[in-house]
Amino acid sequence: MSNHTPDQQGTLYIVATPIGNLADITQRAVETLSFVDRICAEDTRNTRKLLNHLGIKKTLVALHDHNETQKIDSVAYWLREGENIALVSDAGTPLISDPGYHLVKALREMDFQIVPIPGASAIITALSAAGLATNKFSFEGFLPAKEAGRKQALLANIDSQYTQIYYESSHRVVHSVATMLDVFGADKKVVLARELTKLYEQFFHGTLGDLHPWLIDDKMHQKGEFVIMLAAAEIKKNESDVMNSTVEQVLAALIDELPLKQAAKIAGKLTGISKNALYKQGLKLQKSQ
Ligand code: SAM
């Protein structure tokens, strides 16, 4: 049965698939995969297994990192012919550390209709159960494979006020955590999510100093797929930050009655802030009066 009329352009559906547990497929995803004329898939063998599980028979087209740009013209042609097309990756949401960006960008620029069918993604799944701040987070994807590049990438985030989220695979997880330990230090808070939605799903939460031996001491802990989340940097309070309005009020009241040097000394005893910092602040207050 054809799903289109020849004079009407088709739609590209970006369909999220499960990241492990097949029961996480959404009803809309199943309906869309059943309805479309063909499916572009990162690895057609993997998608065929999913479709067999769902009882869906469909034409599959390979669309992966190495042929994505060459496939843009074909997909645009099929859409113009009125076909509806789905894009899926091996797991989770396409384009998120997966192929599809070049295709979607190009087709968006050509004004084709592109409809997302939302579902699982390892980032949000991991973050939702990590217990780290969720108001500001940055998705960093995979770290570079080589130590120098990895270190450089991590150093750029040393003072990040965001929860940082990294993807990692079994053969690199130990190296990446070792570099994180080197860059951020043993006390940095971390949550590692392993094998999300699968039988051996596991969360480690603690510090980088504890995570490294946890990975090394048990080879099982290195198996599977990982999301590593680093807590935002703690804001270091220096004396000027602490110099809040209450301190200023105390200082100003003392300056009214005493010479500045003495006022700074007493304010220092009352607040625990150094008398030198208070003396400088006192000078500023005197100038502004
Ligand atoms: N598109 C996917 C998504 O939406 O999350 C990500 C694909 S990326 C090629 C694969 C990486 O995602 C893995 O190496 C791992 O870091 C993360 N990942 C995917 N599934 C996972 C799972 N079940 N548990 C933990 N991490 C997972």
152 exposed, middle or buried (CB, 10 Å; 0-12, 13-18, 19+)? middle
Evaluate whether residue 4 is within a structural domain: no
Evaluate whether residue 2 is within a structural domain: no
Identify whether residues 260 and 195 lie together within a single domain: no
Residue with tokens 């592109």: 114
| Digit-coded pLDDT (tens) for 75-128 | 999 999 999 999 999 999 999 999 999 999 999 999 999 999 999 999 999 999
Identify whether residues 100 and 131 lie together within a single domain: no
Q: Which of 184, 230, 222, 225 is nearest to 205 (CA)?
A: 230
Identify whether residues 203 and 109 lie together within a single domain: no
Q: From CA 113, how far away is CA 9, in angstroms rounded?
A: 8
The total domain count for the chain is: 3
Output the average pLDDT for the chain. 94
Q: From CA 61, how far away is CA 44, in angstroms rounded?
A: 7
| Digit-coded pLDDT (tens) for 33-88 | 999 999 999 999 999 999 999 999 999 999 999 999 999 999 999 999 999 999 99
Evaluate whether residue 48 is within a structural domain: yes
By residue range, what is the domain housing residue 112? 11-120
Beta carbon of 274 within 6 Å of any ligand 1 atom: no
Ligand 1 geometric centre to CA of 141 (Å): 10
Instruction: Work out the pLDDT band at 1, boundaries 50, 70, 90.
Output: very low
Identify whether residues 183 and 209 lie together within a single domain: yes
Residue 175 pLDDT > 60: yes
* The domain boundary residue, chosen from 63, 87, 120: 120
Identify whether residues 114 and 19 lie together within a single domain: yes
Ligand 1 geometric centre to CA of 1 (Å): 35
- Within 10 angstroms of residue 266's Cβ, the number of other Cβ atoms is 16
Evaluate whether residue 235 is within a structural domain: no
Residue 227 pLDDT > 70: yes
Identify whether residues 221 and 276 lie together within a single domain: no
Which residues are bridge partners to 155 per DSSP? none
Residue 236 pLDDT > 80: no
Evaluate whether residue 3 is within a structural domain: no
Q: From CA 101, how far away is CA 111, in angstroms rounded?
A: 15
* The domain boundary residue, chosen from 75, 98, 120: 120
* The domain boundary residue, chosen from 93, 120, 147: 120
Whether the CB-CB separation of 16 and 117 falls below 8 Å is answered with: yes
Could you tell me the pTM of the whole model? 0.83
Beta carbon of 122 within 6 Å of any ligand 1 atom: yes
Query: Which atom of ligand 1 is least distant from the CA of 20?
Result: 23
Identify whether residues 54 and 81 lie together within a single domain: yes
Evaluate whether residue 47 is within a structural domain: yes
Evaluate whether residue 280 is within a structural domain: yes
For residue 211, what pLDDT is reported? 98
Identify whether residues 99 and 185 lie together within a single domain: no
Identify whether residues 226 and 253 lie together within a single domain: no
Evaluate whether residue 80 is within a structural domain: yes
Structure token digits, residue 187: 């006390």
Residue range 10-16: mean pLDDT, rounded? 98
Identify whether residues 116 and 137 lie together within a single domain: no
Beta carbon of 140 within 6 Å of any ligand 1 atom: no
For residue 60, the domain's CATH number is 3.40.1010.10
For residue 162, the domain's CATH number is 3.30.950.10
